[in-house]
Amino acid sequence: MNHSYRWVIVAAGGLLGCVAIGAMFSLPVFLRPMSQDTGWSVTGISTAMTIGFLAMAAASMVWGGLSDRFGPRPVVLAGSAVLAVSLALASRAGSLAEFQLLFGALVGAAAAAVFAPMMACVTGWFDTQRGLAVSLVSAGMGMAPMTMAPLAAWLVTVHDWRTAMQIIAGIVAVLMIPAALLIRRPPALEGGQVGSAAEEPQSDMTVRQAVRSPQFITLMLANFFCCATHSGPIFHTVSYAVTCGIPMIAAVSIYSVEGLAGMFGRIGFGLAGDRFGAQRVLVIGLLAQAFGVLAYAFVGQLGGFYAVAVVVGFIYAGTMPLYAVIIRENFPLRMMGTIIGGTAMAGSLGMSTGPLVGGLIYDQFDSYVLMYIGSWGAGLAAMLILMAFRPFPRRQAAMAVA
């Protein structure tokens, strides 16, 4: 039963990620209706998203640590409930500051309750096909722009923004809470059991030792620069395309192309990681990502934007799940939530840099070219940092024994 139930965990994780990330990323859809209804500035409302990223960063390691201690089910269940309540409260906000607090801090922190605990849980359920499994969970999160965002767009055409946000809060509760109840701890951790030293990497390591290890710090830095590489292009490419003379409707479709390519990238990179090794595939992916985002600086027609979007979407979405695979190969299962949460925290901080830096560069130079060059540099930095990663020697010895 355990062997087949692990795919239930994957399906539940994909659904939870899709709804949670989709609820948070519905904010851009609400921007204009909210601004027109309340008089709040678009910048002020958008700031809630930046606060959300920072809240995700702060909460990721906390949720991950709690999932190590109490198991993923109560953590994901609590996060699902808080997410639904905070969306409902945000829909009733009477001031911009209140909205920024409720949507930014609470929604961001609650959404973070899914990623690290679910990635940690899935890596513990799979000894084989691990790369594919975490990529499928990640693919669920990647479905958010193609499912929740269009739903939010339809809702705000039928209802006012407050009612639409309340409906999304109800959808979160109806879908996420039952899905969270399906989550189970990996069999190796049931009843407090852990794998033997021969099977479990660094079985005698403490959490304190783990978070101070060069391996953990290297993965955090790589993920920070990896996310900094694509965050600016993700947020500013539509604006850049409009400055090139492409109509807004067509420019927005570049995101859809990028998102669709990302679905294939997650699965492709997951399968490649299983076959050729996660670190090797990730290094190649980071190098390709650097030159992919740089290519945006050399296109000006819609066809060129689409071509680059396919490449960039395939690569950046594909690289992200492989960090969890590398972590599982190097750290004990009992601290997966904490370690994955730590790298997710670094990634969220990296994501928060792009919108701000890209905006500052454009305001200063009236051009996005330097942003893409900077993203290319960040991508090369991520690749070089990951190349410096060295697996724990004991892990290699354990594999030799096995």
Return d(Cα 283, Cα 108) in angstroms, integer.
Answer: 29
Is 207-392 in CATH node 1.10.1140.10?
no
At 57, list the tokens.
Answer: 């960063």
The first and second tokens of residue 28, run together, are 């851009």
Beta strands, E only, 163-299: none
CB-based contacts of 191, cutoff 8 Å, min separation 6: none
Taking alpha carbons only, the member of 319, 339, 312 closest to residue 278 is 319
Which residues belong to CATH 1.20.1250.20 in the chain?
Answer: 2-187, 207-392
pLDDT of residue 196: 45
Indicate the length of the chain as a whole number: 402
Architecture of domain 2-187: Up-down Bundle (1.20)
For residue 75, the 8-state DSSP code is H
Q: At what angle do helices 214-243 and 278-295 cross, to 10 degrees?
A: 30
To 10 degrees, the CA torsion angle through 329, 332, 333, 339?
A: -80
189 neighbors 124 (Cβ within 8 angstroms): yes
Per the CB < 8 A criterion, the answer to whether 211 and 342 are in contact is yes
Of 382, 362, 356, 229, nearest to 292 by C-alpha is: 229
Measured CA to CA, the distance from residue 53 to residue 304 in angstroms comes to 30
Q: What are phi and psi of 229, to 5 degrees?
A: -65, -45
Tokens of 232: 């600016």
Check: CB of residue 246 under 8 Å from CB of residue 136.
no
Q: Residues 176-195: pLDDT tens digits?
A: 999 999 999 888 776 555 44
284 phi, psi to nearest 5 deg = -60, -40
pLDDT at 29: 78
CA atoms within 13 Å, Cβ hemisphere of 64: 27
The Cα–Cα gap between 367 and 376 comes to 16
- Please give the Cα distance from 290 to 141 (Å, whole number): 23
Give the Cα separation of 292 and 116 in Å (integer): 27
pLDDT digits (tens, 9 = 90+) for 353-385: 887 788 888 888 889 999 999 999 999 999 999
Cα separation, 201 vs 305, in Å, equals: 44
CA–CA gap between residue 397 and residue 402 (Å, rounded): 9
Q: Distance between CA atoms of 260 and 117, rounded to whole angstroms?
A: 26
Task: Give the span between the Cα atoms of 77 and 65, in whole angstroms.
Answer: 15
Give pLDDT < 70 ranges for the chain. 1-2, 190-200, 394-402
Q: Could you give the CA distance from residue 295 to residue 303 in angstroms, rounded to a whole number?
A: 13
Q: Decide: 322 and 366 in contact? Cβ < 8 Å.
A: no
CB atoms within 10 A of CB 302: 17
Burial class (CB in 10 A: 0-12, 13-18, 19+), 211: middle
